[in-house]
């Protein structure tokens, strides 16, 4: 498909948003794959990890190129080069882990930067552009893009959510393995620049988890910064602009809390840090729903069940946040009282969440609008996630022990899966709450 004609109708301003979205999407995928292939528990050989990273990066870029090209009409190879380059910029902290080495392998405080570090960084940026070019050419050969107008900001919110999700999971692993003090200083790492510290499959597992958690925090911060600037420069509502500024400010506060938790060795700060992370995740879900087409057209969803749906959706959100606080208090402070409160409240959460999910599907029954489709999807997925969360909670209670650190890798994964699935549940509940509040108030 020849996109040259369409390209003349899209100026630079219309190109920036979709390219940024695609580039940061590629970066999120690359970071996630990097974490998996370098995880010390897996001991994946370097000769396998590197090709795997490149293949996954190219696939992610090819997907992003198609989405961006369909929104801009630009030639795919041009879009691909730009997206590939942009994806490599926020990924520079990953190459920073390769630009330093330990003088003494037994002493993590002996890191030194290689003399050719700057050349490695420039080569990495060039590699991103080349891989993006390849992805654009390949995408054009098999699936030429169809030009469609899209608002890039709602998609960038989803990319930001995707960047925060692995941050929450890695943070959960840090808590489950009691690795929060594996790196005793902040913002440095064992006295070295945080972004120039060697990290790989041969690092100690607790150091790897804590340090990679910090790196993922920078990725989330970069995504939130781009999202805030883009929203403030757009014609979005004042409420959406205020919400995105609040999210960025909270992410900055979250970073300071995490560092202070290390410097002060405070479990209470760790507790606040864990709760705030989940709340930011929920706020991002609310923002995504505010910017969605389902929210824009929800006023037409007139139903006699709206009032009850709003009631149960609101109650589910409040109960879930309270449940989150009890769970985080037990994980970080190991007091039995929050645990028993967490277990008892889980029954109430199940009742309210199941009712809200069924009511969402009831309100959307026999309707074909975007709002109805979103409500049906939210209701079905919420029921599945709720069931999984309930089962994971009991698995964590019976099979993972009561010590601060999990005794085995599997115990750590079960604990963290319960925490991560809870974050997904909060994500769904937050979106459902926003959509329910948008529905017109109709008497039963």
CATH number at residue 336: 1.20.120
| Sequence-ordered list of residues with C-beta below 8 angstroms from that of 237, at least 6 positions apart, any chain | none
Helices in 143-237 by DSSP H: which ranges?
152-176, 205-232
- Model confidence pLDDT, tens digit, residues 261-281: 999 999 999 999 999 999 999
Who wins on pLDDT, 22 or 74? Answer: 22
- Model confidence pLDDT, tens digit, residues 58-73: 999 999 998 887 766 6
301: left (phi over 0), alpha (psi -120 to 50) or beta: beta
- Model confidence pLDDT, tens digit, residues 300-342: 777 778 889 999 999 999 999 999 999 999 999 888 899 999 9
Who wins on pLDDT, 334 or 123? Answer: 123
Contact predicate 96/196, CB 8 Å: yes
- Model confidence pLDDT, tens digit, residues 351-360: 999 999 999 9
342: left (phi over 0), alpha (psi -120 to 50) or beta: alpha
Reply yes or no on whether the pLDDT at 146 is more than 80. no
Who wins on pLDDT, 334 or 55? Answer: 55
Who wins on pLDDT, 199 or 304? Answer: 199
1-10, 20-29, 77-86, 398-407: least confident range:
1-10
> How many Cβ atoms from other residues are within 10 Å of residue 50's Cβ?
12
Is the torsion defined by CA of 433, 436, 441, 444 positive or negative? negative
CA–CA separation, 232 vs 241, rounded Å? Answer: 6
Is 178 within the bounds of a domain? no
Query: For residue 129, what pLDDT band results from cuts at 50, 70 and 90?
Result: very high
pTM: 0.92
**What is the predicted pLDDT for the residue at 2?**
36
Is the torsion defined by CA of 140, 144, 149, 151 positive or negative? negative
Query: For residue 254, what pLDDT band results from cuts at 50, 70 and 90?
Result: very high
Helices in 291-369 by DSSP H: which ranges?
293-296, 306-333, 336-363
Is 368 within the bounds of a domain? yes
Strands 111-113 and 100-102: antiparallel
294-298, 389-393, 413-417: least confident range:
294-298
Contact predicate 424/383, CB 8 Å: no
Looking at residues 74-99, what average pLDDT do you find?
92
Reply yes or no on whether the pLDDT at 145 is more than 70. no
Mean per-residue pLDDT over the chain, rounded:
89
CA–CA separation, 359 vs 339, rounded Å? Answer: 30
Who wins on pLDDT, 201 or 73? Answer: 201
Reply yes or no on whether the pLDDT at 11 is more than 50. no
The secondary structure of 352-393, three-state, reads HHHHHHHHHHHHCCCCCCHHHHHHHHHHHHHHHHHHHHHHHH
Contact predicate 217/258, CB 8 Å: yes
- The continuous run of DSSP H or E covering 58 comes out as helix 46-72
What burial letters (b/e) apply to 296-318, b meaning 16+ CB within 10 Å? eebeebebebbebbbebbbbbbe
In sequence order, the β-bridge partners of residue 192 are 189
**What is the predicted pLDDT for the residue at 12?**
54
Who wins on pLDDT, 269 or 3? Answer: 269
CA–CA separation, 213 vs 145, rounded Å? Answer: 36
Looking at residues 153-182, what average pLDDT do you find?
95
Is 350 within the bounds of a domain? yes
Query: For residue 10, what pLDDT band results from cuts at 50, 70 and 90?
Result: very low
Is 349 within the bounds of a domain? yes
Reply yes or no on whether the pLDDT at 33 is more than 90. yes
Reply yes or no on whether the pLDDT at 285 is more than 80. yes
- Model confidence pLDDT, tens digit, residues 344-399: 999 999 999 999 999 999 988 877 788 999 999 999 999 999 999 999 999 999 99
Number of domains in the chain: 1
Contact predicate 69/143, CB 8 Å: no
CA–CA separation, 64 vs 87, rounded Å? Answer: 10
Who wins on pLDDT, 283 or 401? Answer: 283
By three-state DSSP, how is residue 146 classified? coil
**What is the predicted pLDDT for the residue at 7?**
33
DSSP state letter for 100: E
CA–CA separation, 279 vs 216, rounded Å? Answer: 17
Is 89 within the bounds of a domain? no
Contact predicate 197/101, CB 8 Å: no
- Model confidence pLDDT, tens digit, residues 233-245: 988 889 999 999 9
409-438 and 306-333 are packed helices; what angle lies between their axes, rounded to 10 degrees?
A: 150
Looking at residues 409-424, what average pLDDT do you find?
96
Structural domain range at position 310:
297-444
Is 343 within the bounds of a domain? yes
For 6-131, list the strands marked E by DSSP: 100-102, 111-113
Looking at residues 176-205, what average pLDDT do you find?
90
DSSP state letter for 299: G
Is 159 within the bounds of a domain? no
Query: For residue 433, what pLDDT band results from cuts at 50, 70 and 90?
Result: very high
Who wins on pLDDT, 13 or 185? Answer: 185
**What is the predicted pLDDT for the residue at 143?**
65
Is 440 within the bounds of a domain? yes
Share of the chain above pLDDT 90, in %: 70
Looking at residues 193-213, what average pLDDT do you find?
90
| Sequence-ordered list of residues with C-beta below 8 angstroms from that of 9, at least 6 positions apart, any chain | 73
């Amino acid at each position: 498909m020849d996109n040259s004609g369409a390209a003349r109708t899209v100026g630079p301003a219309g190109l920036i948003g979709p390219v940024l979205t695609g580039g940061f999407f590629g970066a999120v995928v690359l970071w996630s794959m990097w974490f998996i292939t370098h995880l010390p528990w897996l001991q994946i050989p370097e000769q396998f990890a590197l090709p795997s990273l490149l293949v996954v990066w190219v696939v992610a870029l090819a997907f992003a190129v198609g989405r961006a090209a369909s929104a801009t009409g630009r030639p795919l190879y041009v879009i691909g080069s730009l997206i590939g380059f942009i994806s490599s910029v926020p990924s520079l902290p990953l190459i920073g882990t390769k630009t330093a080495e330990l003088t003494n392998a037994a002493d993590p405080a002996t890191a030194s930067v290689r003399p050719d570090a700057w050349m490695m960084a420039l080569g990495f940026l060039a590699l991103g552009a080349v891989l993006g070019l390849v992805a654009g050419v390949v995408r054009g050969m098999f699936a030429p893009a169809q030009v469609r107008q899209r608002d890039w900001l709602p998609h960038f919110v989803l990319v930001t959510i995707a960047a925060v999700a692995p941050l929450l999971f890695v943070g959960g692993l840090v808590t489950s393995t009691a690795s929060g003090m594996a790196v005793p200083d902040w913002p440095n790492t064992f006295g070295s620049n945080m972004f120039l510290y060697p990290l790989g499959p041969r690092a100690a597992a607790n150091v790897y988890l804590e340090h990679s958690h910090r790196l993922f925090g920078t990725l989330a911060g970069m995504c939130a910064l781009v999202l805030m600037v883009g929203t403030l420069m757009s014609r979005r509502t004042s409420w959406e602009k205020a919400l995105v500024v609040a999210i960025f400010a909270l992410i900055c506060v979250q970073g300071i809390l995490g560092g202070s938790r290390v410097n002060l060795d405070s479990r209470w700060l760790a507790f606040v840090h864990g709760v705030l992370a989940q709340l930011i995740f929920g706020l991002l879900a609310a923002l995504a729903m505010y910017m969605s087409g389902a929210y824009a057209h929800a006023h037409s969803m007139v139903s006699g069940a709206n009032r009850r749906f709003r009631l149960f959706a609101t109650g589910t959100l409040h109960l879930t946040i309270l449940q989150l606080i009890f769970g985080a208090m037990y994980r970080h402070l190991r007091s039995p009282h929050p645990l028993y409160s967490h277990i008892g409240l889980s029954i109430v959460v199940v009742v309210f969440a199941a009712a809200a999910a069924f009511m969402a599907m009831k309100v959307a029954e026999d309707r074909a609008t975007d709002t109805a489709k979103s409500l049906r999807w939210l209701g079905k997925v919420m029921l599945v996630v709720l069931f999984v969360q309930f089962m994971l909670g009991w698995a964590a209670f019976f099979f993972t022990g009561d010590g601060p650190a999990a005794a085995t890798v599997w115990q750590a994964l079960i604990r963290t899966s319960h925490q991560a699935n809870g974050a997904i549940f909060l994500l769904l509940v937050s979106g459902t709450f926003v959509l329910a509040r948008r529905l017109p108030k109709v008497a039963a």
